Amino acid sequence: MLAVLSPAKKLNFDPLDEGMAQSLPAFQDDANTLAKIARKLSVSDLRSLMKISEDLASLNKARFAAFTPVSDDRNSKQAAFAFAGDTYTGLQISNMEADDVAYAQDHVCILSGLYGVLKPLDRMQPYRLEMGSRLQNKAGSNLYAYWGDRIGGALDQVSGGVVVNCASVEYFKATGKNMTSRVITPAFKEERDGELKMIGFFAKKARGMMARFMVLNRIETPEGLKDFDLEGYKFQPKLSGENDWVFTRKSA
């Protein structure tokens, strides 16, 4: 069973301790191709492409200019440690033991506009390129066209038949339409004023927590997901469908 996460816009490239395990992305050649395309874009182009500020566009212009075909300990970091957004606050991979990180390497994947699919220990260079970006490329006018069904095919190869979709709609759309794995999509909601609400910050964090729960408890079957109870969440069978599962908690 495989947990699938979205990347984060916020990055942390502080160095890790020496000796941390590492791997290289399966789609490094594609990342190199896309970075080469993005390198040709101006600051104004990047602002328009990703709807970001001029400062962020300038930062990412510099990142693509510095991007190299080979990632090493000087220019890159293991992906799950480099992403630092809400989902990764929930994942807390920095607090995992070595054997847990090794398990995560085989049971967690991160979707990426630039790299396609990243394992937690894959080395990645600093970048920002959202999956929904309309980046012109040899396959079409956006990254969905570029990746086609290859991301979904890569997940099928390592999923063991079940994908737990803890990614956003924008990113999971990139898996294409031909995946053979069963896809279970958990939704995390807060009970507030007698209503159930999905609140972005909490939902993103909970997706990372679900992946953490799977890793620390070595969850190998879908039924095991129903025991997820971190930070007060509880599975709600009456609100859930066959593959769309709802977890709720009372808001503090």
pLDDT digits (tens, 9 = 90+) for 36-80: 999 999 999 999 999 999 999 999 999 999 999 999 999 999 999
Of 235, 230, 234, 186, give the one whose Cα is nearest residue 1.
Answer: 186
Angstrom distance (rounded) from CA 37 to CA 44: 15
**Residue at 156 is within a domain:** yes
**Residue at 178 is within a domain:** yes
**Residue at 17 is within a domain:** no
pLDDT of 223 reads: 96
pLDDT of 21 reads: 95
| Domain region containing 134 | 2-12+22-250
Q: How many domains does the chain have?
A: 1
**Residue at 72 is within a domain:** yes
**Residue at 123 is within a domain:** yes
pLDDT of 174 reads: 97
64 near 127, Cβ under 8 Å?
Answer: yes
Residues of the chain under the 50 pLDDT cut: none
Angstrom distance (rounded) from CA 82 to CA 174: 22
pLDDT of 17 reads: 85
**Residue at 60 is within a domain:** yes
pLDDT of 123 reads: 97
C-alpha distances in Å from residue 188, one per residue of 24, 166, 192, 248:
32, 10, 13, 6
pLDDT of 252 reads: 62
Angstrom distance (rounded) from CA 144 to CA 140: 8
Angstrom distance (rounded) from CA 126 to CA 64: 8
Chain centre distance of CA 44: 27
